[in-house]
Chain A
Amino acid sequence: MTRETIRKIEGFVALLLSTLAALLGLFWLVFILGDVLVHGIKALNLGLFMNDPTPPGIVGGGLRSAFIGQLLITITATLIGVPIGVLGGTFLAEYARGTKIAHLISVLSDIMVSVPSIVIGTFIYAVLVKPVGHFNGWAGAVALSIIMVPVVLRTTEDMLTLVPWTLREAAFALGAPYHKVIIQVVYRGAATGILTGILLSIARVAGETAPLLFTSFNNSFFSANMNEPVASLTVTIFQYAMGPYDDWHAQAWAASFVVTMVILLLTIAGRLIIRWRYK
């Protein structure tokens, strides 16, 4: 064999391997999604959203409390996390632009994005659950918002930095004070980007289980009271999947299906907005 053929064969084998790797990645995606789809749709019915859980063995139980609870916790977390994140990002990108402290904070929040969420759960347990004496919905919401803040903060900062500086100067030249410039000029330019960041951060926390496990805990009765333990879909999946009953497993699959769909829709919506805006 000549040197050339060897090189060609080597190149072919390497490229074939990496193509296979890409196919393997796609294979897992299809495998997992297909599995959730098949099991989830089988167990999906209207009663799932309308009824409260029944004791195992009795037909007709649903997960109404978990759906409502999840919604409550996520919305509260969004209400706490988004303003802090957006304001923090604004501070970093506008008032503290280029300073050492801004750089430090953005590096730190990059790290915080990946800090194990269960550690946040233990932290909130010590701060908000132990003093109160029982698990409560607020603690879960706060835990989720802590996970949310770094994500929103970083995207806001990036998006605001993308707004051209000359645009601000034009507004200054018209005599506008800085806060007016930020609200009326900079935010308008960066609105879609920030919105995307918020959507992605909601998608991120909606699937979190670990921090809710020791904070909002679970509740098999319907409750919209955030001072009580509140049920959530993810913790319900956690408990039902462990349980020995077949109808629990079916409901866990249905809940997984709903959670996955919501999160994938949010993620795809986020990506589409980015594409539509920055192309």
Chain B
Amino acid sequence: MRRKTGSLVPLEVAILDALIELRRHGQPEAHGFLIASELRSIGDDRRLTAYGTLYKALDRLGESGAIDRRWEDPEIAASEGRPRRRYHRITLAGEAARAAADPIARRTPAADRGVATS
């Protein structure tokens, strides 16, 4: 069955929640593993989200404009001796989509946001 255009599946809602939660704790953008860890800490599942499932969902959110994605400067990654990270940040469109997905969303975007993100 095809999903309705613009609709969010539960994992995508959870990812947006995780990004909002991380931002509330001073992390305006997060790499994939950090999101997976946050999903585990705020969700019911004790397991980390699968690689394929997580990155496919992040791609979908990026393509729909719900999140912004950027690659880290390779020099920073090289200087720290690790692979480069791709950072994800929720956008205003993502906050709106999250709020529309659940009328009793845990918080409104403006309430816990110091600065606007887009």
- Do A and B pair up? The answer is no
**Interface residues of A, Cβ cutoff 8 Å to B:** none
**Interface residues of B, Cβ cutoff 8 Å to A:** none
